[in-house]
Each structure stands twice: as C-alpha cells, then as structure tokens.
Amino acid sequence: MSTEEQKEQFKRYKEDVERRGKSFYPHAMFHDTVMSFVVVSVIAALAAIWHYTSSEEPADAGLLGPRYHEEADPGTTSFLPRPDWYFYFLFYLLRIFKWPESVFLGTVGVPTILLIILLLVPFFDRRRERRLIRRPVAVVASLLVIASMGILTYKGATAEEPSAIGAEALLAANGIPAEDETLVQGADLFAKVGCLNCHTYASQGSAGPGPELTEVGNKGRGVDYWKDWIRDPSALGGEGMPGFPTLEDAQLEALGEFLEASKGGG
C-alpha cells in the first residue's frame, strides 16, 4: 500500500471518528467504572454467601462449598502439587523442558519471544483487511496456539504423578532384587516423600533440579553418609535440596540402604 493511500485512509478514519465516535472521557470511562463495580460486587456477594452459609465443620458444605476439606498441614512431605486445570498446559510444558538446560528457554524465552512478536504485529501488518479468509497466517497461527494449548492441557491432566510409581517397579527397573525388606521400604519412601519430584531414578521421576540417582550407589559413600545427607544436605555442603528432618532414623536407614544398592543394574 502506498503512503498516499495510507494517508487517505487515515484521514477518512479521523473524519469517521469525528462524525460518529464518542470520546474516551467520559463515555468509555463511565462504562468501565460501572462494569468494574458490577464485577467486584458479584465477587463480594458470592464471598459473603459462601462465608455465611458454610460452617467451620469440614463436612457441612453450605450453598457454595465447604470452608475446607482437610486442615492444611505445613509439615507434610507427601503432598503432590498439582495446578488448577487452567494451568495444566504450563505444568506440562515444564515437564517437556528438561532442567536445567532448556527450562529457562521454555518458561521465559519462548513466551517472551511470542509476546514481542505479538506486540510487533500492528507495526508490520498494517493492512485494513479484517476478513479471516484473507488472513491465513494469523488464522493458522491462532489455531495452532489453541490446538497446542488444548493438547498440553490434556497431557497435563492425564500426566502420571511421580509418586504413583511403586517400590517394586523402582527396584525392578534398577535390577535390585525385591527380597530385602529394608530396600523395599527405602524404595517406597523414595517414591512417597517426593524424591522423584527432583530426581530421575531408572527413567522415572523428574529430570531436575537434582542429579540422576540410578547409579548413585557406585559413588561408595556409604549408608551413614546418605542418612546425614537426606537429613540435612546443607550440612554437607549441598545446595538446592531440602532436608528431611522429620524422617525417623529407621526411615533414613532404609533410604540410605536403597541409595547404596542403586548401581544401575537394570
């Protein structure tokens, strides 16, 4: 489109606004203000109804659901963090991008690049064309975004929890006979208290931030070292791994035995 044509169009647009348009202040301001009040009032009313119809009793649901199902337990070690459904696509993205090489790319890099492109669109696509059929690039791009978010949401909703993995499966995958009761208990704890949220073990669990532990027994550190490590990694110069001070000595022992027996024999 030539500059002349653009100027012409811009002039027509300005005249059109002059003739039929309404100024932002006060018209649009007034609409926005009224609408904001309506939205906030609805939220406040729902909160009030919820508060006054429910009771302190967890079982008593009230009109809009109970206050809580179970009291929060800040000391839990077995809680599995799962996002609300509308974040499943991000949740699954984090599983695709592996720690630490590509997580930055996946969480900051790609969204930033996409946002910059989106901000630039009005500068390089200056046609007046609005019909979808004449804008194949924009339409295909939007459809692809919607489709990939849909697929990621589905994958996130059906993704298996790291701790759904049983002790026997962990032991078998690493070629450890499941006869020793301590080892079974250790593998069970390993799966249950959340170690797999940060570590890969025999291709199970998360890729990070902790190192893979399938062959950690080959380091020859000994059970006592692992007990101390799990209780408080920072005391041994570890960084990035939380301690598990609430585990009992027998549990630490079992975990230590399990780590020491992990020699990548699967």
The contact set with ligand HEC (CB under 6 A) reads 190, 193-195, 197-199, 209-211, 213, 216, 226, 229-230, 238-242, 244, 255, 259
Min dist. Cβ of residue 204 to ligand HEC (A): 13
Closest to ligand HEC by CB, 91 vs 152, is 91
Contact call for residues 107 and 93 (beta carbons, < 8 A): yes
Closest to ligand HEC by CB, 74 vs 136, is 74
Min dist. Cβ of residue 193 to ligand HEC (A): 5
Contact call for residues 183 and 78 (beta carbons, < 8 A): no
Min dist. Cβ of residue 159 to ligand HEC (A): 18
Min dist. Cβ of residue 206 to ligand HEC (A): 9
Which one-letter amino acid corresponds to residue 235?
A: A
Locate tokens 């027998």: which residue?
Answer: 250
Closest to ligand HEC by CB, 89 vs 244, is 244
Residue environment code for 47-74, b if the CB has 16+ CB neighbours within 10 A, otherwise e: eeeeeeebeeeeeeeeeeeeeeeeeeee
Closest to ligand HEC by CB, 92 vs 258, is 258
Min dist. Cβ of residue 102 to ligand HEC (A): 17
172 CB-near residues (< 8 Å, 6+ apart): 178, 266
Closest to ligand HEC by CB, 132 vs 235, is 235
Closest to ligand HEC by CB, 53 vs 218, is 218
- Distance between first and last Cα of the chain: 66
For residues 4 and 201, give the distance between their C-alpha atoms in angstroms, rounded to a whole number.
Answer: 66
Min dist. Cβ of residue 172 to ligand HEC (A): 19
CA 255, 261, 264, 266 torsion-angle sign? negative
Helix axes 249-261, 223-231, angle to 10 degrees: 120
> 68 in the Ramachandran plot: left (φ > 0), alpha (ψ -120 to 50) or beta?
beta
Closest to ligand HEC by CB, 31 vs 82, is 82
Min dist. Cβ of residue 179 to ligand HEC (A): 21
DSSP state of 240: S
